[in-house]
A = this chain, B = another copy of it.
Amino acid sequence: MPNSTPRRLDDQLCFAFYSVSKKFNHFYQDALKPFHLTYPQYITLLALWETSPMTVRELGSHLNLDSGTLTPLLKRLEKQGWISRKRSDQDERQVNVTLTDYALQKRDEVYARVNSCVDLISFDNMDYQQFLGGIHQVMDELDTISDKNLIHES
């Protein structure tokens, strides 16, 4: 007979992730307001500041986003002058996403702004690496379950 009461702790863990993710999103929204960037747009630029150009597919596998999310996001970044999109000559299925000169110039300014806001967060007496490791452990578990398709539909 299955336990018919909710597992408070697991629910709390998921809800905590859900809540803190929204709060972080809001935090970055404020921090990035001078540049009119959202958090997903910011991490897209972060990835491109490391490697540019990248195809939509490569960007998606870095950020865990599919084209249904990325294509409109990239169009907005393009309209605001951060990136350019151009179909590859070698493989016309692919679209190369390239940073504009504007984005390259603005990079340090964005970094400085984000850093100054992140400095406001105090991570006193918190084992950072262990904490991050715990999150990744949970993520790996969820990936494993998803891959093995252990959850069957009704």
A→B interface (CB under 8 Å): 2-7, 9-28, 30-31, 33-34, 39, 43, 46, 49, 64, 108, 111-112, 114-118, 120-123, 126, 128, 131-132, 134-139, 141-143, 145-146, 150-151, 153-154
Contacts and interface: CB of A to CB of B under 8 A. Distances in A.
B33 A154 contact: yes
B151 A30 contact: yes
Given A24-B142, A146-B26, A7 B121 contact: no
Oligomeric state, in copies: 2
A27 B120 contact: no
Contact of A19 (B11, B15, B139): B139
Contacts of A25: 18
A6 B111 contact: yes
Contacts of A122: 141
A140 to B, nearest CB: 10
A113 to B, nearest CB: 9
B18 A112 contact: no
B132 A9 contact: yes
Contacts of A115: 2-4, 6-7
